[in-house]
């Protein structure tokens, strides 16, 4: 079984993925880390030099490779914030994984991202406004408007993460896995 975690950047996919892999005693693959290792560059470097379109192609290739090598055991895949918003990647996740949407409220996302914008190319923050929380909030709202339906349409289950620890969220997902279905 392959369990994929989708959701907006800053919702905790990587941290919940680590906790869940620990609970299930299985392998975790972080898609962004896989891409960085495969191409020898950071995500911001790829965006800067090649653009978003090229990155999304790399992401699709990497996701396909990961899915092709999962084997028979349980694997957790932590995706990037835009992975499920790309039609082909969403299709791969929906067809080949138990896909869980980690949904966070805007306040949670702003709090989690306000000091971590430099490594997140899709936030497009003006360096002269590094402390402009309202600009960050508006960018998150813009992106969420574009991505929310893709997250909901791709996922088998939606887990609200606001106010929960990574372990609490991972335990909730483990319960869904043990029941054999997220729906």
- Please write the tens of the pLDDT for every residue from 91-126: 999 999 999 999 999 999 888 887 665 556 566 545
Q: Is the dihedral of CA 123, 126, 131, 137 positive or negative?
A: negative
The band of 136, judged by pLDDT with boundaries at 50, 70 and 90, is confident
The CB density around residue 92, as the number of other CB atoms within 10 Å, is 21
Task: Please state the rounded mean pLDDT for residues 40-54.
Answer: 91
Q: Cα angle vertex 172, ends 123, 84, to 5°?
A: 35
Predicted local confidence at residue 121, as pLDDT: 56
Return the pLDDT at 44.
Answer: 87
pLDDT given at position 139: 87
Q: State residue 116's pLDDT score.
A: 65
Rounded Cα–Cα distance for residues 98 and 156 (Å): 7
d(CA 106, CA 86): 22
For 168-178, what is the mean pLDDT? 94
CATH 3.40.50.300 fits 2-179, yes or no: yes
Instruction: Report helix angle 133-154 to 87-96, nearest 10.
Output: 50
12: left (phi over 0), alpha (psi -120 to 50) or beta: left
Q: Which residues contact 27 (CB under 8 A, 6 or more apart)?
A: 21, 73, 74, 75, 76
Is 0.85 topped by the overall pTM? yes
Bridge partners (DSSP) listed for residue 159:
102
Question: pLDDT at position 99, please?
Answer: 96
Give bridge partners of residue 4 from the DSSP assignment.
77, 99
Share of the chain above pLDDT 70, in %: 89
Task: Return d(Cα 27, Cα 22) in angstroms, integer.
Answer: 8
Query: Using an 8 Å Cβ cutoff, are 142 and 85 in contact?
Result: no
* Cβ–Cβ < 8 Å for 75, 29: yes
pLDDT tens-place string over residues 6-32: 999 889 999 999 999 999 999 999 999
């Amino acid at each position: 079984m392959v369990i994929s975690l989708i959701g907006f950047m800053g919702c905790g996919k990587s941290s919940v993925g680590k906790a869940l892999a620990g609970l299930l005693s299985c392998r975790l693959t972080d898609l962004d880390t896989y891409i960085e290792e495969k191409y020898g560059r950071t995500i911001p470097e790829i965006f800067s030099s090649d653009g978003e379109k090229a990155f999304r192609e790399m992401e699709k290739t990497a996701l396909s490779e990961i899915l092709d090598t999962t084997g028979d055991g349980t694997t957790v895949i932590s995706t990037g914030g835009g992975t499920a918003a790309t039609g082909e990647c969403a299709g791969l996740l929906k067809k080949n994984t138990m896909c869980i949407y980690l949904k966070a409220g805007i306040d949670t996302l702003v709090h989690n991202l306000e000091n971590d914008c430099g490594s997140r190319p899709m936030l497009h923050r003006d360096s002269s406004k590094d402390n402009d929380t309202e600009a960050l909030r508006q960018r998150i709202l813009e992106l969420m408007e574009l991505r929310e339906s893709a997250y909901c349409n791709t996922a088998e289950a939606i887990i609200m993460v606001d106010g929960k620890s990574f372990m609490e969220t991972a335990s909730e997902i483990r319960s869904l896995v043990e029941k054999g279905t997220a729906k």
